[in-house]
Amino acid sequence: MAFRADGAAAAPAAPLAGRRILVGISGSIAAVKLPLLVSALVQQGAEVRCVLTPSAARLVSPEALACLSRNPCHLDADQWSHREPRPLHIALAEWAELVLLAPLTATTLARWVHGLGDTLLASTLLACEAPVLAAAAMNTSMWDSLPVQRNWKVFSRLPSVLALAPTAGLLACDRQGAGRMADPDLVLLALESLALVGNQRDWQGLRLLVSAGPTREPLDPARCLTNPSTGRMGVLLAQAARLRGARVDLVHGPLSVPPGWLEGLACSPVQTAAEMQAALLERQPRADAVAMAAAVADHRRARPTATKLQKLDLERALSQGWEAVPDLLAQLVERRPAGQRILGFAAQSGDVLPLARAKLARKGCDLLFANPIDRPGCGFGGLSNGGWLLGPGDQVSALAQAHKLAIAHQLLTALHPTRGGPGRSPGDPAQAASG
Ligand SMILES: Cc1cc2nc3c(=O)[nH]c(=O)nc-3n(C[C@H](O)[C@H](O)[C@H](O)COP(=O)(O)O)c2cc1C
């Protein structure tokens, strides 16, 4: 996808558009969440086929899934149909480009780990070579049980499997604890990640510190100085790293992203630049890499007013009493432990590259992602982004306009503490995209 000469930008393709996705559903009550998830896949342009275990078919309607997937829904009885010219489990396994296995029950997990193919879903999974995203769901005691934990350990290490463990919350059995299927927004995101970069585990054993979102600097109890950052870019960077195996600390201002995207991240919500500074500096010593994606305010009130300013006093108050916010990126660079890599962000308008080059030289970070906020399809809030990744010396590579999750993965590859680098494909993102 490219910046077009007329300044307009066609939206980058959705990560799952045109992909053939097999959705395997086993008998957990979380199956009731699948129809909407299937609908979301179809709305992205994916081709979807659903396979249900007999237990799943009692909990969620195959008719609803057939209707929402625009395809017949496959049940165990279909495996032995005289209408199928090829064994259905083989045909489905070969058809699938990606598999979504959600919810995954203790039984279906055990079947796979022990190589049993006694349902249509189980035999299809054994025959399938496509990457699998699996989201487990079960009662807390079932999840904690030794056999399930043993099976999960084996399963989640399979190279083709990206496994999402259940999260904690209120369960249908009225227990409060681990067992809920990962949030559907996160399941969708993880599937998109699998489609974009496969099941990469290159951040396994590494720790990433990410900042995201805006800060809010209070003027008085009713007003603040802030900016339009939603935190989408930073949160996607954090979640992409987590899906690639990293442990991620996320320090964030007020966010406008689906709450499910925060699952599995160690989140520290803050409001002001001072709070962000304290949270980042505390967490920095244990990080292998830092990505400073937050849009931190440049100025704050030297002394915020304790009571609400009256309208007539506002103009005078706005024209005086501000102070500069400390430069968080420069502080992180100054204090970094040996070997820690740091990525900065520069959201700029106009002629972005010279401004970004000057910022990189001033701050001394390893990498700087410069993204224009005045071009369609880039910057705050949207689904896509694009820009230039600058490194030491004159190194610069254009990142063509793409889905923010795809940009996040490219940034992570460059930031990797042992394998990273900005790459060398200078030019305009438009050139890079069309080339
Ligand atoms: C209402 C209901 C909810 C259930 N929820 C779960 C669940 O969340 N996780 C699980 O592992 N089993 C759950 N079970 C039990 C499974 O359905 C049962 O173990 C079944 O054998 C699973 O088979 P399958 O994996 O072929 O679907 C539930 C059963 C019922 C009746």
In sequence order, what DSSP letters do the residues of 311-367 get, joined into one string?
A: HHHHHHHHTS-EEEPP-HHHHHHHHPPTT-EEEEEEEE-SSHHHHHHHHHHHH--SE
24 Cα–ligand 1 center, Å:
14
Residue 131 resides in a domain = yes
121-141: burial string, b at 16+ Cβ within 10 Å, e else = bbbbbebbebbbbbbbbbbbe
The tokens for 179 are 């067992």
Centre of ligand 1 from the C-alpha of residue 28, in Å: 4
**Do 181 and 242 fall within a single domain?**
no
Q: Tokens 């099976």 map to which residue?
A: 151
Q: What is the pLDDT of residue 353?
A: 84
- The answer to whether the CB of 140 is under 6 A from ligand 1 is no
From 51-60, 68-77, 318-327, the region with the lowest mean pLDDT: 318-327
Domain extent at residue 135: 20-197
Say if 13 falls within a structural domain: no
Q: Are residues 223 and 259 in the same domain?
A: yes
- Is the per-residue pLDDT at 7 higher than 60? no
Query: Does residue 35 sit in the same domain as residue 53?
Result: yes
**Which one is predicted more confidently, 270 or 229?**
270
What is the crossing angle of helices 106-113 and 146-156, to 10°?
Answer: 60
Q: Which of 51, 55, 101 is the pocket-test mutation for ligand 1 (most atoms within 8 Å of CB)?
A: 55
Q: Which of 73, 128, 173, 365 is catalytic?
A: 173
pLDDT in tens, 102-153: 999 999 999 999 999 999 999 999 999 999 999 999 999 999 999 999 999 9
Does the N-terminal peptide bond of residue 285 adopt cis geometry, omega within 30 degrees of 0?
A: no
The pLDDT, as a whole number, for residue 84 is 78
pLDDT at 194: 97
Instruction: With a cut of 50, say whether residue 426 has pLDDT above it.
Output: no
The CATH number of residue 103's host domain is 3.40.50.1950
The answer to whether residues 232 and 316 belong to one domain is yes
Answer yes or no: are the C-beta atoms of 244 and 238 closer than 8 Å.
no
pLDDT at 12 over 80: no
Domain total of the chain: 2
Residues facing residue 211 across a β-bridge = 251, 292
24-43 mean pLDDT: 98
Of 257 and 11, more confident: 257
112 or 84, which is more confident?
112
Query: Are both 43 and 190 inside the same structural domain?
Result: yes
Q: Is residue 7 part of a domain?
A: no
Confidence grade of residue 431 (pLDDT, cut at 50, 70, 90): very low
**Reduced DSSP (H G I as helix, E B as strand, rest coil) percent helix, strand, coil of the chain, to 5:** 40, 25, 40
178: part of which helix (H) or strand (E)? strand 176-180
In angstroms, what is the span from residue 137 Cα to ligand 1's centroid? 9
How high is the pLDDT of residue 406?
95
Domain contains 78: yes
Q: Classify residue 5: in a domain, yes or no.
A: no
- Same domain, yes or no, for 295 and 411? yes
DSSP 309: P
- SS3 state of residue 86: coil
Indicate whether 259 and 395 sit together in one domain.
yes
**Assigned domain for 8 exists:** no
Q: What does the pLDDT read at residue 394?
A: 81
Is there a single domain that holds both residue 241 and residue 389? Answer: yes
H-type helices in 60-119, by residue range?
62-69, 88-95, 106-113
Q: Which atom of ligand 1 is nearest to the CA of 171?
A: 8
What is the C-alpha separation between 81 and 226, in angstroms, rounded?
62
Whether residue 173 lies in the annotated active site: yes
pLDDT reported for residue 11? 65
The token pair at 356 is: 């970004």
Parallel, antiparallel or unpaired: strands 384-390 and 367-372: antiparallel
Which residue lies with its CA nearest to atom 4 of ligand 1? 28
In a domain, 35, yes or no: yes
Give helix 184-197 / helix 34-43 axis angle, nearest 10°: 40
Span 176-218, pLDDT tens digits: 888 999 999 999 999 999 999 999 999 999 999 999 999 999 9
Task: Confirm or reject: Cβ of 28 under 6 Å from ligand 1.
Answer: yes
Name the residue with higher pLDDT: 12 or 406.
406
Protein residue closest via CA to atom 6 of ligand 1? 28
Please give the helix or strand (H or E) that residue 20 lies within, else none.
strand 20-25
Distance from Cα 243 to the centre of ligand 1, integer Å: 26
Judgement on whether residues 239 and 349 belong to the same structural domain of the protein: yes
**Domain boundary at 197, 227, 250, which?**
197
- Boundary (domain end) residue, out of 172, 197, 222: 197
In the prediction, which pLDDT does 193 show? 97
Q: Is 56 in the pocket of ligand 1 (CB under 6 A)?
A: yes
8 A C-beta contact, residue 46 and residue 18: yes
Place of tokens 């900005």: 422
- Tell the burial category of 429 from Cβ atoms under 10 Å away from its Cβ (0-12, 13-18, 19+): buried
How sure is the predictor about 273, in pLDDT bands with cuts at 50, 70 and 90? very high
Q: Ligand 1 atom 22: the closest Cα is on which residue?
A: 27
Question: For the CA atoms of 163, 166, 172, 173, what is the dihedral angle to 10 degrees?
Answer: 110
**Model confidence at 5: pLDDT above 50:** no
8 pLDDT tier (thresholds 50, 70, 90): very low
Spatial distance between the Cα atoms of 253 and 228, rounded to a whole number of angstroms? 12
In angstroms, what is the span from residue 72 Cα to ligand 1's centroid? Answer: 23
Mean pLDDT value of segment 280-292: 98
Select from 168, 197, 226 the last residue of a domain.
Answer: 197
Atom 21 (ligand 1) nearest CA: 107
Nearest one of 418, 425, 417 to 390, comparing CA atoms: 425
- Burial letters for 408-428: b for 16+ Cβ neighbours within 10 Å, e otherwise? bbbbbbbbbbeebbbbeeeee
Please indicate, yes or no, whether residues 287 and 170 belong to a single structural domain of this protein: no
- 52, 73 Cβ separation under 8 angstroms: yes
Is 137 close to ligand 1, i.e. is its CB under 6 Å away? yes
Look at residue 171 in the predicted model and tell me its pLDDT. 83
Residue 74 Cα to chain centre, angstroms = 30
Structure confidence at residue 374 (pLDDT): 66
Average pLDDT of every residue of the chain:
90
